[in-house]
Amino acid sequence: MPPHPDMALVQALLVRALVARFTEDPYSHPLVRWGTALHERFLLPHFAMADLAEVVADLRAHDLDIDLAWFDPYLEFRFPRIGVTEVAGVELELRSAIEPWHVLGEELASGGTARYVDSSTERLQVEARGFVPARHLLTVNGAAVPVQPTGTPGRYVAGIRYRAWKPWSSLHPTLEIDTPLTFELIDRASQVSRGGATYHVVHPGGRSYDRPPVNAAEAEARRARRFEKMGHTTGVIDTEALDTQLAWRSSAGTEYPLTVDLRRRVPQRWGRG
């Protein structure tokens, strides 16, 4: 639910506008079968907001004065920014994305049975501005990131799915966590890492807080501590191996060409020296 009355009002206004639009002009075109894109593209903030922009444009075309700027608070609330850094003229931005959680089967609990939710997997979006595919490669924990163009020159996005926690009741209990996530910008010409960023799901020093934050400023400081503007692998990097990964992900048989699922990857070092 929206955390502020004004956001709730905008949400209700959008629903009423949609009802009015389809009452006057029902949608009669064939429906689009999105397939796996529903569980990939539209879970990322860039594509979710682009889809919302199309909805708002359609409402405005039907004389319903809805402003897209009204939904900016929803972007920051539902897809909070994790951190931003600049590496060799390329700006990298990390934002939280949507990750559906599975409801598990019934398990014995004190006094009865319970059905736990597997919250061990999370997803984020990495956005690269000023990125040139002919010059750059982007990796996360050594895996090539299949960044996709957004329609704006030099702006690319991709999704990262990873195991963030290891609760006692979850799917795939033998898988280890994938964090911290280290993003690196690779220069194709020199085959070296130019730097990057590191994201920690918890405090990088393993600190456990004894109390909730007293205000928004302390909460923001705790979140900011988990993002570090550093990430660098020394030595020569095998860019051919990274290009092979990208070619496989862009093949016709790949169901999720936009997402790196670190749970499905066997970690391998790609340095050659």
Q: What's the whole-number mean pLDDT along residues 195-205?
A: 89
CA atoms of 196 and 184, how far apart (whole Å): 4
In 102-191 the beta strands, taken as DSSP E runs, fall at 102-109, 112-118, 121-129, 136-140, 143-144, 148-149, 155-163, 181-187
* Alpha-carbon separation of residue 97 from 23, 25, 103, 141 (angstroms): 33, 33, 19, 19
For the cut 70, the answer to whether the pLDDT of residue 272 exceeds it is no
User: Model confidence over 22-36: pLDDT tens digits?
Assistant: 999 898 889 889 888
CA atoms of 124 and 104, how far apart (whole Å): 23
Sequence-separated (6 or more) residues with CB below 8 Å from residue 231: 182, 183, 184, 193, 195, 196, 197, 198
User: Model confidence over 108-118: pLDDT tens digits?
Assistant: 777 788 888 88
Q: Which two tokens stand for residue 222?
A: 């705790």
User: What is the pLDDT confidence band of residue 252, given thresholds at 50, 70 and 90?
Assistant: low
User: What is the pLDDT confidence band of residue 264, given thresholds at 50, 70 and 90?
Assistant: confident
